[in-house]
Amino acid sequence: MAERLVIDPITRIEGHLRIELETEGGKIVKAWSETTQFRGLEEIVQGRDPRDVWAFVQRICGVCTSVHAIASIVAVENAIGSNPPEQARLIRDMVLASQEVQDHVIHFYHLHALDFVDVTQAAKADPQAAVDFARAIGSTWKGNTLERMTQVRDTVQGILDSGQLSVFTGGYWGHPDYRLPPEANLMAVAHYLDALEFQRSMIRIGTVFGGKNPHPNFLVGGMACSIDPGHTESINQVQVDQIGVWVAESLEFVKACYVPDALAIAGVYKDYFDIGAAQDNYLAVGMAGATFGGDPAESKWTSGHTVIKPGVIFDGDLGTVHPFDPQKIEEWVHSAWYSYEGGDIGLKPSVGETTVAYTGPKPPYEWLGDSEEYTWCKAPRYDGRAVQVGPLARVVLAYAQGHERTVEIVDAALAQLGITPAQLNSTGGRILARAVECLTSAEILAETTFPTFVKNLKGGDIDVFDPTRWEPGSWAPEASGMSFVEVARGNLSHWVTIKDGKVARYQAVVPTTWLAGGRDASGQQGPYEESLAGDGQHPLSDPARPLEPLRTIHSFDPCMSCAVHVLESNGRGSWAVEA
């Protein structure tokens, strides 16, 4: 007889996610992905000036701020016919790249690595052995010194002696499936701390261009920052030089620290390349940072992020990349607490609805999976299929299209780990893909985007705003727009309809919605659910310490604050902000 298990809340993610499981014989046989926040921000922005909407929707989340702002302004620009100058586009690309690299580093070290790294064992390590281990895995990070490893070991021991584990409280320390030797645990904890310092510097790129963080300033038609290399009141040469330093530091950290660590941990937990497979359908419109207003097939804008074509892969067939068609996207609410005027159907985002129809029990919940409706998260489908989005999808699309640098890195990793491309559809594959993508993104930023921006500056190009469509009088009485942006967790799209100068309809289809959504009318599971219960073989050795399913769910890097948004019961809008 199946046993039931609830994991609530899932920690080390953004927002509120609950997972319900049924297990038999130490294996997961059924799973339900349940988001316990209401999605309502689309209603909040209706009736507002579309030039202001970016400021509202970037507060969907306290981490994914810039990506929603950029997706919003690009959708509005698509609707009104605005064409931002090249320098403004390049600035947006740099902001997206810095956020993406920072996000991947934070996810690996601070949100996911502790599923594989036993912090308490770091205190038992020989610091010199930790230095030797780092060298053995190819890490050339400058922090791999005897002094640093000794300092971190003593710090961990002090925390353990105090009995107060601070940020490490609540871990399943001592779980029998922690496999790293003490010296590897010590190295990983040292790099965890180094990553805290790195991510603080990395995000400053967006802060310089946006004026503040975590909610930088943006502008429909371009960027709000002015550029003049010779004046202190604008983006000047001193700041550009500093950005160059941060860009170089980001590439150094990813190459010298992150990628070797990810490969080393993946090698110790190699069986996770056969665990956690979701649907082997993948969707992406380009490399991380690719940004399109309107149908990507009709875009004339190119960048380092658009070197692969928008596409979809079905059934794991890497030999066939199908063209991406925005009109094949639909959102279902069969398992969600919403209703559509037309009944249990899928709706295209351009005509999407967000109408609450809560049928669940009053919190706190005991069990939700017995009901057809069990989540606030819609279920997007592409051409009727559940698809994976995110680093794995982008790496698979780039690999299938023969992107030279991606193929080089992936083939080297596959050879080192002794796995096949098909095994990338797994918990381990998502970890590896995120590291691969972080490296290619840092390289594009350092070798293409930033140098192009600087070259344009030297040529006198300081234009960052298109004023020709700023005034509502220049807009059509009714217009619709959409945007597609490849962000840290996957494909993000915003859809807007403008009537008489105001927002008449707004929808956001975000990466975590694609991945965390529940079952549709045909019973097809969402990717989270499929990764846990698709084959009935996902392990769960100790229900009291459900480490194995957490590894798989964390491999997606959930951001529930993006997937669903909060609306106060008194009707006033508010947002879930999780830092």
> Are the C-beta atoms of 253 and 98 separated by less than 8 Å?
no
Could you tell me which of 395, 429, 116 has the C-alpha nearest to residue 265? Answer: 116
What's the token pair of residue 439? Answer: 């490296």
Could you tell me which of 468, 424, 488, 379 has the C-alpha nearest to residue 65? Answer: 488
Burial of 387 (0-12, 13-18, 19+ CB in 10 A): buried
All structural domains of the chain: 3-563 (1.10.645.10)
Helix (H, G, I), strand (E, B) or coil at 480: strand
> Are the C-beta atoms of 540 and 549 separated by less than 8 Å?
yes
> Token pair 């600087």 is at which residue?
454
Residue 39: what pLDDT? 57
Residue 162: C-alpha distances to residues 117, 148, 189 (Å): 21, 21, 18
The mean pLDDT values, 10 residues at a time, for the chain of 579 residues are 93 90 98 85 89 91 84 98 97 95 96 97 98 98 98 97 90 96 98 93 89 90 91 88 96 98 98 98 97 92 84 97 98 96 97 92 94 96 98 98 98 98 98 98 97 96 97 97 97 98 96 97 97 98 97 94 55 33
Residue 62: what pLDDT? 67
User: In DSSP terms, which residues pair with 6 in a beta bridge?
Assistant: 20
Helix (H, G, I), strand (E, B) or coil at 522: coil
Tell me the pTM: 0.95
Output the 3-class SS for 237-250: HHHHHHHHHHHHHH
Distance of CA 334 to the CA centre of its chain: 25
Residue 461: what pLDDT? 96
Across the chain, which distance is largest between two alpha carbons, in Å? Answer: 74
> Are the C-beta atoms of 436 and 266 separated by less than 8 Å?
no
Rounded to whole angstroms, the Cα distance separating 575 from 564 reads: 10
Residue 576: what pLDDT? 32
Residue 530: C-alpha distances to residues 56, 107, 270 (Å): 33, 22, 20
User: Rounded to the nearest 5 degrees, what angle is found at the Cα of 261, between the Cα atoms of 256 and 262?
Assistant: 115
Report DSSP letters for 425-436, one per residue. Answer: SSHHHHHHHHHH
